[in-house]
């Protein structure tokens, strides 16, 4: 009879140590494990361990030989994970203990020295900060790509007239380029929010230990610097126990998701045949299983819908955190899924939106027709009366309102109301007044700073390129 070889024994979770001799209940293990999701922190975990290890050597807390063995082992583990050959094991609970256990298999007892002057509490806080920092840089690139797509279309359509809405009622003509540039500004602020979040999160928890610091002569500046943090976090309790940086990230994702959702809704509207302002190619539309004529904007609808996930992620994490006493509690293990979900979803939404923007083909005639409908240039006539007859704007507003009513009674539009008819209501109206009623004149006249005049829009697109797309190069140097 052959006895099981030691290597075939059930792997033992290092955190159970000598204190816990019994095995965890199966259900205990199931609720406790996080390896299925926190394996996404592997690169950050290895980077953190390498920095910690180098510091331990520099401070003579471990020997250079052990330090080298640990570093080599960690690099091997990174390669194994990236090649999909790493033996992830639920018995080892999370990414930290999985890597530590594998390190032991690879290099022997020296592996046990890596966790000197460290706890999983400062380790995981460091890993997640690094992960969110990377995610922010990644999302910033995606936001920039979407801005670039919007700016390109805005340049093409600096003079393309469309109806501008308030209350979704035709309000005043605007240009399509102007409308698109509004989203470029929103995305600029979305990027700013992520940048702010990045600034605040960029302090290093490593060295806080479990909660109180450590009795070893560590060098926290060294590890912070090695991981490109600005400085170590000042308070060990705070370092291991707050997740405000993750909440800021989720809030920033939620706000950006909300912006994308509004834009998606507009794509859905513009694409709807009664509007018919734009077309998307087959690449960004789907068919109906029953109605052969359909072309559905599913990608836009899903971008519109996914906002719920961001709000859900924020609500989920803020609920985990509220009421938690200092310092670490296992509740905080629940921080990762919402963060991953929000980051993945935002990336997907940004990429899908950029794809749609590049795909948009504008039906200029349909846009112009809609822009001219609904007496959209009524304000222009009121402005003319105010300017040329020195009327108080309120009086001009009332007169034009009466003219619109008259036009509707006659089944025509304000722009087509005969001059004679206009003069029965305000005799001082001249032929020149009627000229301001075309949509082209209307948008061209809106040349105040930030307005929709085509010349301004063309300049604004150029300026946006310089502000948002060239800034990117500088960020890279950071």
Residues that are catalytic: 167, 288
Q: For the chain, what is the radius of gyration of the CA atoms?
A: 31
Name the 3-class secondary structure at 325: coil
Question: In terms of CB distance, is 38 or 380 closer to ligand ARG?
Answer: 38
User: Which is nearer to ligand ARG, 38 or 248 (by Cβ)?
Assistant: 38
Calculate the alpha carbon distances from 292 to 86, 200, 288, 306 in Å.
Answer: 49, 53, 6, 27
Q: Does 124 bind ligand ARG (CB under 6 A)?
A: yes
Q: Binders of ligand ARG among 38-67, rule CB under 6 A?
A: 38
73 vs 205, beta carbon nearer ligand ARG: 205
Q: How far is the CB of 443 from ligand ARG (least distance, A)?
A: 55
Which positions from 76 to 105 touch ligand ARG by CB under 6 A, shown as an x/- string? ------------------x-x---------
Answer yes or no whether residue 120 interacts with ligand ARG by CB under 6 A: yes
Closest CA to 145 of 357, 303, 307: 357
Residues 320-359 contacting ligand ARG, CB under 6 A: 328, 330, 332-333
- First-to-last alpha carbon distance for the chain, in angstroms, is 65
Closer Cβ to ligand ARG, 115 or 406, answer by number: 115
- Distance in Å, CB of 34 to ligand ARG, minimum: 5
Q: How far is the CB of 345 from ligand ARG (least distance, A)?
A: 21
Q: Whose Cβ is closer to ligand ARG: residue 121's or residue 379's? A: 121
Q: Please tell me the distance from the alpha carbon of residue 360 to that of residue 377, in angstroms, as a whole number.
A: 27
Closer by beta carbon to ligand ARG, 322 or else 473: 322
Orientation of helix 120-156 relative to helix 454-464, angle to 10°:
150
Burial class (CB in 10 A: 0-12, 13-18, 19+), 116: middle
Encode 404-456 in three state secondary structure: HHHHHHCCCCHHHCCHHHHHHHCCCCCHHHHHCCCHHHHHHHCCCCCCCCHHH
Contact 178, 163 (CB under 8 A): no
**H helices within 91-227, ranges in order?**
95-107, 120-156, 176-201, 220-226
Q: Shortest Cβ distance from residue 46 to ligand ARG (Å)?
A: 15
Residues binding ligand ARG: number (CB under 6 A):
11
Q: Which stretch binds ligand ARG (CB under 6 A): 118-126, 134-142, 170-178, 371-379?
A: 118-126
131 versus 284: smaller Cβ distance to ligand ARG: 131
- Binds ligand ARG (CB under 6 A): choice among 13, 14, 34, 149: 34
Q: Is residue 129 near ligand ARG by the rule CB under 6 A? A: no
Ranges of H-type helices in 157-273: 176-201, 220-226, 236-241, 244-271
Beta bridge partners of residue 45, listed in sequence order: none
Question: Are the beta carbons of 306 and 349 closer than 8 angstroms?
Answer: yes
Binding residue (CB under 6 A) for ligand ARG from 121, 170, 175, 307: 121
User: For residues 173 and 162, what is the distance between their CA atoms, to the nearest angstrom?
Assistant: 6
DSSP count for the chain of H helices, then E strands: 20, 6
Q: Is 19 in the site for ligand ARG (CB under 6 A)?
A: no
Give whichever of 37 and 275 is closer to ligand ARG, judged by the CB atom: 37
Task: Provide, rounded to whole angstroms, the least separation between the CB of residue 82 and ligand ARG.
Answer: 21
Which 3 state secondary structure label does DSSP give 148?
helix
Alpha helices in 272-335 (DSSP H): 298-321
Q: Which stretches within 244-335 are classed as H helix?
A: 244-271, 298-321
Binding residues vs ligand ARG (CB under 6 A): 34, 38, 94, 96, 120-121, 124, 328, 330, 332-333
């Amino acid at each position: 009879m052959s006895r099981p070889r030691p290597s075939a024994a059930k792997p033992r979770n290092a955190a159970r140590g000598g204190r816990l001799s019994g095995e965890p209940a199966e259900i205990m293990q199931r609720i406790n494990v996080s390896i299925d999701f926190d394996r996404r922190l592997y690169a950050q975990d290895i980077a953190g361990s390498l920095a910690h290890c180098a510091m331990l050597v520099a401070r003579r807390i471990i020997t250079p030989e052990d330090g080298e063995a640990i570093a080599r082992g960690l690099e091997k583990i990174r390669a194994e994970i990236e090649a999909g050959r790493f033996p992830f094991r639920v018995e080892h609970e999370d990414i930290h203990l999985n890597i530590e256990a594998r390190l032991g298999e690879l290099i022997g007892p020296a592996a046990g020295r890596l966790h000197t002057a460290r706890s999983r509490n400062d380790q995981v806080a460091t890993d997640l900060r690094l992960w969110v920092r990377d995610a922010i840089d990644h999302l910033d690139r995606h936001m920039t790509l979407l801005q670039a797509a919007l700016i390109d279309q805005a340049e093409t359509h600096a003079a393309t007239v469309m109806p501008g809405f308030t209350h979704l009622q035709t309000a005043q003509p605007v240009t399509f380029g102007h409308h698109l540039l509004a989203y470029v500004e929103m995305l600029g602020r979305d990027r700013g929010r992520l940048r702010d979040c990045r600034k605040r999160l960029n302090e290093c928890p490593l060295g806080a230990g479990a909660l109180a610091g450590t009795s070893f002569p560590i060098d926290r500046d060294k590890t912070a610097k090695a991981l490109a943090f600005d400085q170590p976090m000042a308070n060990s309790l705070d370092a291991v126990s707050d997740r405000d940086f993750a909440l800021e990230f989720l809030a920033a994702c939620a706000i950006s998701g909300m912006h994308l959702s509004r834009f998606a809704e507009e794509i859905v509207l513009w694409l709807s045949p009664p509007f018919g302002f734009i077309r998307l190619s087959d690449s960004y539309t789907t068919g109906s299983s029953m109605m052969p004529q359909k072309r559905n904007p599913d990608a836009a609808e899903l971008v519109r819908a996914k906002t719920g996930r961001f709000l859900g992620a924020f609500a989920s994490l803020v609920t985990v955190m509220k009421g938690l006493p200092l310092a670490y509690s296992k509740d905080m293990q629940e921080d990762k899924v919402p963060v991953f979900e929000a980051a993945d979803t935002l990336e997907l939404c940004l990429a899908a939106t950029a794809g749609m923007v590049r795909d948009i083909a504008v039906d200029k005639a349909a846009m112009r027709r809609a822009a001219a409908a609904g007496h959209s240039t009524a304000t222009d006539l009121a402005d003319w009366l105010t300017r040329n007859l020195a009327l108080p704007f309120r009086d001009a507003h009332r007169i034009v309102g009466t003219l619109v009513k008259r036009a509707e009674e006659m089944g025509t539009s304000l722009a087509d109301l005969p001059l004679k008819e206009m003069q029965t209501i305000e005799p001082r109206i001249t032929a020149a007044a009627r000229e301001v009623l075309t949509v082209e004149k209307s948008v061209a006249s809106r040349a105040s700073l930030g307005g929709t005049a085509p010349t301004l829009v063309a300049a604004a697109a150029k300026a946006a390129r310089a502000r948002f797309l060239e800034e990117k190069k500088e960020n890279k140097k950071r």
